[in-house]
Amino acid sequence: MLLVVSGRWHKTLPNEPPVTPGWELAFSLVAGKRVEGEHCSMLLAYKPVRFEDFATDEMVEAASRLDIERCIELAMEKFLQAPEELVELDSFPHQVAAAAVLSTHKIVKALIRGESATFSKPLRLTPLEILRAVYSKPEGGALELRLNAGPATWSMIKASASLQGFKPEDGLALLNGDEAKKAELLNLLKVKNSHS
């Protein structure tokens, strides 16, 4: 089940604050000096594809002939046809919460330039490293974070989109590496997710 995370830069709306009030210190850790008049949303795209989805008669027949090329072709077709769920997090506190959830998984950084891409080894990134990657603007390309994630992870990220009462000082502590604050937030999201 593939989850792709990226940043989407766009012009700020009239009267839109540069960052959620009170979160300026936490935001400066991530973005430093932001580009005036621009805002970065965190876009998450999820394809819930399971092994069983690939176990078609055609796939079994191709595998029995050891036709690896056809197996890969069929797998890619199935993957491309799978429905995609999207969540866009525009609010910085929600982005911090989602980054905390993502930091519990190994993530691959994909640098995409035109038709080619380079991939890192799977890495366990901190919430701060995740957000810095989302906010980065590579020369002549785009950076995506990719991971295999189950429905529970996806549900917790969706729960972060409606998180209320997440304090700026807690977000700042989390971005500075406070594992207790991260555990507290993850528990809060689990509880929130179980009630939705």
Total tally of structural domains belonging to the chain: 2
- Is residue 41 within 8 A of residue 5, CB to CB? The reply is no
Instruction: Identify whether residues 93 and 59 lie together within a single domain.
Output: no
Q: Tell me if 174 sits within 8 A of 104, measured CB to CB.
A: no
The verdict on 65 and 17 lying in the same domain is no
The residue from 33, 66, 82 where one domain ends is 82
- Give the range of the structural domain holding residue 64, as residue numbers without chain letter: 51-82
Q: Residues 42, 95: one domain?
A: yes
Q: Is 137 helix (H, G, I), strand (E, B) or coil?
A: coil
For residue 157, the model assigns a pLDDT of 93
**Domain termination residue (choose one: 35, 67, 82):** 82
Co-location of 141 and 58 in the same domain: no
Name the amino acid, one letter, at 9: W
73 and 150 assigned to the same domain:
no
Please write the tens of the pLDDT for every residue from 46-86. 987 665 655 667 767 777 777 777 766 766 666 566 677 89
Same domain? For 144 and 100 the reply is: yes
99: its two tokens: 């980054």
Judge if 25 and 70 occupy the same domain: no
Residues 29 and 118 in one domain: yes
- In this structure, the answer to whether residues 57 and 151 fall within a common structural domain is no
Q: Quick one: 58 and 44 in the same domain? A: no
Angle (CA) 25-163-184 rounded to 5° is: 75
Is-contact 145 6, C-beta < 8 A? yes
pTM above 0.85, yes or no: no
- pLDDT tens-digit readout, 128-187: 999 999 999 888 788 999 998 888 899 999 999 989 889 999 999 999 999 999 999 999
Residues 55, 97: one domain? no
**Are 89 and 32 within one domain?**
yes
Nearest to 49 by CA among 153, 147, 146, 150: 150
Decide which of 40, 59, 82 is a domain's last residue: 82
Element (H, E) at 174: helix 168-175
